[in-house]
Amino acid sequence: MALRLVIGNWKMQLTVREAVHLALTLRHSRLASQARLVLCPSFTALSAVSRVLHGSPIELGAQNLAPVANGAMTGEVSASDLKILGCRFVIVGHSDRRALGETDAQIRQKVRQALASGLTPVLCVGERRAERRPGQARPVVRGQVQSAVSGLPPAQRRRVRITYEPVWAISPGGPVTPPQAFAMAEVIWQSLGGQASPLIYGGSVTPSNINAFLDGTHFSGVLVGQASLTARSLISLVNG
């Protein structure tokens, strides 16, 4: 069975100093060996957090990356630099970024950039509250998945960790029920031609609801925002 994967998305919630402090506390905590913990600090904290995590089993991820390898792109950060800084994962297409105007075409390019640099893309897909009406959410999610992975050879496609994160369920919204999330996981599998490997779930995951989502069949990992901001909560997410 796949290791329980917990990805902490710290968004823009912590200062560099707070991020380093939290990473240090986690590094010196007892974490279950059946779990994999990935921390995604903001770009400005990546280097310092990377030094703290060096030699520990806790892994590093970034929250975004540039859609091209290099060039005149003010404010962007390349996949290769993320790799050099010690990242193994990168979140792609988070709804916060889609809300800022990121397009499916850019997300497709970002997935490719991540893969080309040896990073694992954590591809976020999910319907917005207005798209929750019956019959609408499924085509939206299917379209996001197919657009992001279209044209990828099967071996590369398998390296993309697809994350179902209904936008309306991100805190302070409520979580979906596990059966609702499982049903969408099956839609995602169908859109990938029946490839049924476990996905990641995100949206108001807490220590008290995590186990209901991680059934090992539909989901083997979680992407966590709010509940990843304290050591206590992250440790209970990891240790179960």
Binding region for ligand PGA (CB under 6 A)? 9, 165, 170-171, 202-205, 223-227
- Which residue of the set 94, 102, 127, 218 is catalytic? 94
- Measure the CA dihedral 15/83/162/164, to 10°: 10
Question: Would you say 23 or 96 has its CB closer to ligand PGA?
Answer: 96
Tell me, what DSSP letter sits at residue 3?
P
The catalytic position among 59, 102, 127, 165 is 165
Gap between the Cα atoms of 8 and 65, Å rounded: 17
Q: Which residue has the tokens 């390349």?
A: 78
Q: Give the nearest residue (CB) to ligand PGA.
A: 225
Residue closer to ligand PGA by CB (options 202, 221) is: 202
Quote the tokens at residue 74: 């003010």
Shortest reach from residue 200's CB to ligand PGA, in Å: 10
165 has catalytic annotation = yes
* Residue 18 annotated to the active site: no
H/E segment holding residue 184? helix 178-191
H/E stretch holding 52 reads helix 43-53
In sequence order, what are the beta bridge partners of 200?
Answer: 163, 221
- Quote helix, strand, coil % in the chain, to nearest 5: 40, 20, 40
Rounded to a whole number of angstroms, the minimum distance from the CB of residue 151 to ligand PGA is 26
Nearer Cβ to ligand PGA (95/191): 95
Rank residues 91 and 192 by Cβ distance to ligand PGA and give the closer one: 91
| Shortest reach from residue 7's CB to ligand PGA, in Å | 8
- Report, as residue numbers or ranges, the catalytic residues: 94, 165
